[in-house]
């Protein structure tokens, strides 16, 4: 056997051995344990380069349509999740405990400036203006017609006996005058309403209303709301959601936010070692090995059954067994 033949034999033996080991739970148990020990006290943030990660992610976000490409998968997943959820008896109170609700409420009550801006924007929307104007007009008209307010006007009292239709005719141009007045003064009316609403929505009042709403929702099932959705909703919405998501991620604004988040995450992780982070997560070495080792071994076995594992291992080995370095060692050994 010459050096080249021996190199190929060693390569095949190496690949076979690696494939066998990757399918054994004991191999992964050792890797999971040793991996944590090897990293030891090394800060996680020091293991990566924030600029490199941010650059790769930015390139991806700027040029790829990730969610649109995954649209069929997202539809299938969404429909499966909805089918599962609509048969579940879980209540809202189980998803959001009262203690967590109170914590969120406490933070929400701090947003007074934002709350006032939202109220202002809502009440100054043209649709709201039209609605309030129409409500006021209808109330005034009904008061005049139904409460006999016109009966005191000269020449009208005798017509009250003829019914509402006749009285309406007697109003003449009064209805249009009311509409014109309301249109001209609706801004002042809404400003008064805005001031009243801000006075009424004190933190105490908001907390009271929020707690009442939570108590009502806590006993409800998300399944009941899901069943009200029309059939095929996920399939109809997903294409639009995917397009919006991809278009948003292409924006410089979104990419800047992601980059800022990556830099902050890496900086924050300089305060953590892997053992400390895993401990904070509440996991132990024994628990990780129990769950992950069988899963990783099973995954390797699945790849092996599909004839994918061996090519991957061979690719990982690279060209070492064909290299001059390997050949030199083998030839020297054979000559000796």
Q: For residue range 52-110, list pLDDT tens digits in order.
A: 999 999 999 999 999 999 999 999 999 999 999 998 999 999 999 999 999 999 999 99
How many alpha carbons lie under 13 Å from residue 295 in its C-beta half-sphere? 7
Band (162; pLDDT cuts 50, 70, 90) = very low
Output the furthest CA–CA distance in the chain (Å, rounded): 132
CB 162, CB 109: distance < 8 Å: no
pTM score, whole prediction: 0.76
Of the candidates 237, 244, 272, 333, the one whose C-alpha atom is nearest the C-alpha of residue 10 is: 333
95-104, 153-162, 179-188, 223-232: which has the minimum mean pLDDT? 153-162
Residue 273's DSSP bridge partners are 43
pLDDT of 299 > 90? The answer is yes
């Amino acid at each position: 056997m010459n050096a080249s033949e021996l190199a190929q034999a060693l390569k095949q033996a190496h690949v076979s051995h690696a494939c066998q080991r990757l399918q054994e739970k004991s191999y992964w148990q050792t890797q999971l344990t040793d991996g944590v020990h090897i990293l030891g006290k090394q800060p996680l943030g020091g293991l990566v380069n924030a600029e490199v990660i941010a650059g790769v992610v930015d390139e991806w976000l700027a040029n790829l349509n990730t969610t649109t490409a995954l649209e069929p998968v997202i539809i299938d997943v969404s429909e499966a999740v909805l089918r599962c959820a609509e048969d579940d008896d879980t209540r809202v109170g189980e998803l959001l405990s009262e203690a967590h609700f109170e914590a969120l409420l406490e933070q929400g009550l701090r947003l007074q400036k934002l709350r006032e801006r939202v109220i202002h924007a809502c009440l100054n929307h043209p649709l709201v203006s039209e609605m309030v104007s129409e409500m006021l007009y209808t109330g005034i008209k009904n008061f005049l017609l139904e409460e006999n307010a016109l009966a005191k006007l000269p020449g009208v009292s005798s017509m009250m006996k003829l019914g509402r239709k006749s009285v309406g005719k007697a109003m003449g141009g009064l209805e249009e005058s009311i509409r014109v007045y309301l249109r001209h003064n609706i801004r002042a009316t809404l400003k008064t309403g805005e001031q009243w609403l801000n006075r009424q929505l004190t933190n105490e009042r908001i907390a009271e209303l929020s707690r009442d709403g939570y108590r009502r929702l806590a006993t409800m099932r998300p399944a009941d709301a899901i069943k009200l959705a029309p059939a095929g909703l996920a399939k109809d919405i997903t294409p639009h959601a995917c397009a919006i998501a991809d278009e948003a991620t292409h924006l410089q604004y979104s990419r800047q936010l992601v980059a800022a988040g990556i830099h902050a995450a890496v900086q924050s992780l300089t305060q953590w070692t892997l053992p400390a982070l895993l401990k904070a997560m509440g996991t132990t070495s024994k628990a990780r090995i129990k769950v992950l080792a069988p899963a990783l071994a099973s995954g390797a076995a699945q790849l092996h059954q599909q004839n994918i594992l061996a090519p991957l291992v061979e690719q990982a080995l690279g060209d070492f067994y064909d290299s001059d370095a390997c050949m030199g060692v083998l030839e020297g050994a054979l000559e000796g």
